[in-house]
Structure 1
Amino acid sequence: MLAVYDDALPAVYGYLLRRCADRRVAEDLTSETFLAAMDTVRRDDEARPTTPWLIGVARHKLADHWRAMQRTPEPVEELPEPVDDHWEVHLDRMLAHYTLARLSPTHRAVLTLRYVDDLPVGECAAHLDRTVGATEALLTRAKRAFRAAYPETESHTGQPGKAGRGGHA
Structure 2
Amino acid sequence: MSEPRVRPDPAFALLDLYETALPEVYGYLHARCGDRGVAEELTSETFLGAVSACRNPGAPPVSTPWLIGVARHKLIDHWRRREREERGLRVVHESEAGSVDPWDAELDALLAREVLESLGAHHRAALTLRYLDGLPVPEVARLLGRTVHATEALLVRARSAFRAAYREKEVRDD
TM-score normalised by length of structure 2: 0.46
Structure whose residues are more often helix by fraction: 2
TM-score normalised by length of structure 1: 0.47
**Based on CA coordinates, which of the two structures has the bigger radius of gyration?**
2
